[in-house]
Amino acid sequence: MGTRSAAGVALVVGAVLATAGCGGDASAGDGDNGGGGNGKNRSAAAVEAARAYQQAQLDHGWETACGAVTDRLLRKMGADTIAECVDHMDMPRINDVSGVRLTMGRPVELPAYGRHPAGIGLRVSFGPVGRGMYNHTAFRLVPGKRDTWLVDQAVNLADGTGTEAVREALRRK
């Protein structure tokens, strides 16, 4: 498939995992909240899934990146299958990413919003890119099958990178 969707391109550019929702710190709590394990293990698993997803994008590991998103996000990217997603995302590298670092925000529990299920939000930043700039994206991660976490929502942050900015960004889209 030839045409790349704006949402797919935005995901390549995006890169900050932060939080959204009315709940508190996702590491608080000790029960199984879906997605496996207690609150701390749940948060750690979601953070690792977000890190792996963003690193796959930076490395142009499109099969890994496309396999780490929900069906809803795949469709938003203009793909019905992982293979179609890979085709949409496979584009030449623009910048050298050898010196790029990923940093993660604090995970926060998110309530369901619109068509997005409850999950964990966090901010992920990567950089420096270009002229020393950093990219920031808010991700909503939701429980997948067999204790996995999948990216369900990704929104570039333009008005700050704190918890409230992430919450607001994930409520707008």
Q: Please indicate, yes or no, if residue 105 is contained in any of the structural domains.
A: yes
CA distance 15 to 113: 21
The alpha carbon torsion through 89, 94, 98, 100 (nearest 10 deg) reads -80
Q: Please name the amino acid found at residue 55.
A: Q
- At 173, the pLDDT band (50, 70, 90 cuts) reads low
Helices 6-13 and 82-89, axial angle in degrees (round to 10) = 70
Q: Is 142 helix (H, G, I), strand (E, B) or coil?
A: strand
Q: Please indicate, yes or no, if residue 38 is contained in any of the structural domains.
A: yes
Single pTM value for the model: 0.75
Please state the domain count of the chain.
Answer: 1
Domain with 79 in it: 6-172
Whether the Cβ atoms of residue 20 and residue 122 lie closer than 8 Å to each other = no
Per residue in 111-165, pLDDT (tens digit) is 999 999 999 999 999 998 878 889 999 999 999 988 899 999 999 998 788 878 8
pLDDT for the residue 38: 57
Contact partners, residue 84, CB within 8 Å, separation at least 6: 1, 74, 78
Whether the Cβ atoms of residue 156 and residue 75 lie closer than 8 Å to each other = no
CA distance 12 to 26: 26
Q: Please indicate, yes or no, if residue 133 is contained in any of the structural domains.
A: yes
Does the pLDDT value for residue 32 go beyond 60? Answer: no
Whether the Cβ atoms of residue 57 and residue 12 lie closer than 8 Å to each other = yes
Q: Please indicate, yes or no, if residue 1 is contained in any of the structural domains.
A: no
pLDDT for the residue 23: 33
Q: Please indicate, yes or no, if residue 70 is contained in any of the structural domains.
A: yes
Measure CA 119 to chain center: 12
Helix and strand element counts for the chain (H, E) = 6, 5
